[in-house]
Amino acid sequence: MNSTDRPASAPDKTARRRKRAAYIIAAAIFAAIVLALVGRHLYYRSKINAELDAISKAGFPVTLQELSDYYPVPQGENAAEVYTEAFAKFTEKNSTNDLPVVGMGKLPSRNEPLPKQVQTAISAYLTSNAQALELLQKAATTEGCRFDVAFSAYPFRLPHLAQLRQAARLLELDALMKVEEGKADKAAAATAASFAAAHSLRNEPILISQLVRIAVDSISLSTLERVLSRTTLGDKQLTELSATVTSEEKSDGFKRGMVGERCEGDYMFLNLRTLSEEDAKVSALAFWFYKYSDEQAQDRIANIRFMAEVLGPADRKDRDIGDLLENIGKGILPGPNARLLIGMKAPALARACEEDLKNTARLRAARAGIAVERFRLANGRLPDSLEELVPKWLDAVPADPFDDKPIRYRKLDKGFVTYSIGPDLKDDGGKERNPIDSNAPYDITFIVAR
């Protein structure tokens, strides 16, 4: 009899049965694990969909395509088309070391005349950019604005941001030269056009665009300080500038930027592998485990909820948003916001919020300062307090966004300062920021030295 024809012994049959049982148990365990993972994946997907549905029902975008649609197209003329035409007319600065703002030249104190060699350098630069200046003035009179940005395609292409900064610097030089030429009305128009360049970004739903808007506002405010310190504007020009500053002050651009931040953040959670392929920071296996684990889903939900808390009620003050972001960044707040990625993200957003608050504070100080100028024009003297301006020149003294108290005011040996106490919540008497010593205490100031 062949050995292979022999009946299996009892021990062999028992071993085979045990092996089959082990396979069955292993398969059952594997199936249970897969079902559990799939179940949890579907559970978290339903939670994510519920969160996104709530955002959509509130009227906000959740995808990049929806974000692009959230950036409205003007019904009539589009200032962005005029701005783009102006950008194409920009010429490079000349080689002289006397050209300030865009070159190596230095500006004198805000109430001092420009030296002759500086005037010569500025004049040459303005002449070479005459067509661009004309178009910038035209764009400033067009209300609707949407730049050609496809927020549906990531990463975003935003070349107009740097060009708007350049436009503000060009308009600053134009305003300063118009003062030297005794053309106060033209200086006011150039200043207003600079604010309009900032205002053109008010609807752009991305945070970097709002930070550039703040930077252009800063250039415009410095221009306004210099113009008012060197010449007397008429009440018509002052009234128009006040309306321009008020409109910019009331912009909800920062919150629109945070709406875009939420969409961009969610997109990056969904496309982490794609975004990291070039530098191989995330391996395919590691990304697969992250994507289908609880971690990715919990991070994504935390990001959505975190941004919902940041945006919060429509009437939530920006200062409260800043406090919330700062506390999250410090790990003070428990719950979903304690996720690592949120903790890493919060400090940068808190700094952006603070920049928005400082910009609001300076715009309010400028609005109060313009009202002081209107009072001086009518009465031949400076007011003793900002309350003297109510109700003829101000409906009410603007509130300091950092403590809700009225904007402060102080007469100087020459001129005056209106100011906010700033993020340190300390009244330093209207002390201007020291550009050399960043640690020195300062207030958020608007100074007219005349």
- All residues at 6 or more sequence positions from 160 whose CB lies less than 8 Å from its CB, including other chains: 80, 83, 84, 87, 147, 149
- Residue 214 inside a domain? The answer is yes
> Is the domain of 80 the same as that of 217?
yes
| Per-residue confidence (pLDDT) for residue 280, from 0 to 100 | 45
- Does a structural domain hold residue 302? no
Cβ neighbours of residue 364 under 8 Å, at least 6 residues apart?
A: 249, 398, 399, 400, 401, 407, 420
Query: Is residue 118 included in any domain, yes or no?
Result: yes
Give me the pLDDT at residue 304, please.
85
Contact 113, 226 (CB under 8 A): no
Q: Does 365 share its domain with 398?
A: yes
Say if residue 237 is in the same domain as residue 251.
yes
Q: What was the pLDDT predicted at 312? A: 76
| Total domains present in the chain | 3
- Inform me whether the pLDDT recorded for 315 exceeds 90: no
Final residue of a domain: which of 244, 270, 296?
Answer: 270
pLDDT of residue 287: 65
Q: Say yes or no: 190 and 81 in one domain.
A: yes
The pLDDT score that the predictor gives to residue 15 is 77
Report the alpha-carbon distance of residue 171 to residue 219 in Å, rounded.
10
Task: Return the closest-CA partner of residue 230 out of 80, 329, 372, 109.
Answer: 109
> What mean pLDDT value characterizes the chain?
88
Banded pLDDT at 143 (limits 50, 70, 90)? confident
Same domain for 137 and 259: yes
* Residue 236 in domain: yes
- For the segment 138-150, the average pLDDT, to the nearest whole number, is 94
User: Residue 408 forms beta bridges with which residues?
Assistant: 419
One-letter amino acid at 376 equals: R
28 has pLDDT over 60: yes
- Are 164 and 250 within one domain? yes
286 domain-assigned: no
Which of 270, 304, 330 is the endpoint of a domain? Answer: 270
The fraction of the chain above a pLDDT of 90, given in percent, is: 62
The CA radius of gyration of the chain, in Å to the nearest whole number, is 30
pLDDT in tens, 244-285: 999 999 888 888 999 999 999 888 877 765 555 444 455 666
User: Are residues 174 and 56 part of one domain?
Assistant: no
Q: Are residues 39 and 166 in the same domain?
A: no
- The 10s digit of each residue's pLDDT in 344-369 is 777 888 888 899 999 999 999 999 99
Q: Which of 239, 270, 301 is the last residue of a domain?
A: 270
Pull the structure tokens for residue 108. Answer: 């004198």
Question: Could you check whether the bond before residue 336 is cis, i.e. omega within 30 degrees of 0?
Answer: no
